Amino acid sequence: MLAAAAGILYTAAERLGCNKIALGHHRDDSLETLLLNLFYAGRLQAMPAGYTTDDGRFRVIRPLIECAEADIAAHASEAGYPILPCNLCGSQDNLRRDKMSALITQLEQDNPDVRSVMLSALKNVAPSHLLDPRLLARGEPDEVAVPDLPQPAKPGPRRLTVLP
């Protein structure tokens, strides 16, 4: 979310006495953001389903983050909800965001389930297979420390030896 938009939203929420803010980002927004960050910012990062603002005043949630934009639009139409166009979120990088949307659409020609597969990938991260130096074990350059994640395996950190 753009900083100016966030500031306006937080100000309004505070004025209304709110401590939780629900945003309307959906699956397609998250996937486009993932690709924008990957191709233009050099990081693996999408949109979190929820977070607490830096100052701790608000809990921000995205309850539609796993919903397809087309499904949301179809439901809104069937229910007769008014559709308010929102170009705010992508206004500064509209062309790039549009390119990411087109890329996903192109990938769907080969794999019609690519959006679902990409969403599944965001829920199935293997940190030990990434090259983030923050995951490297201290003093052991040939090993990667995998942080404790909820797994049925033994509790505690595991070590993975990287072969040449």
User: Residue 82's pLDDT is what?
Assistant: 86
Per-residue pLDDT reduced to its tens digit, 17-32: 999 999 999 999 999 9
Residue 75 has pLDDT above 60, yes or no: yes
Residue 29 near residue 89 (C-beta atoms within 8 A): yes
d(CA 119, CA 135): 23
DSSP state of 83: P
The CA distance from 26 to 47, in Å, is: 10
The pLDDT score that the predictor gives to residue 5 is 79
pLDDT of residue 88: 56
Helix (H) or strand (E) holding 75: helix 69-79
Q: What is the pLDDT of residues 109-145, one digit of tens each?
A: 999 999 999 999 999 999 888 888 887 764 455 555 5
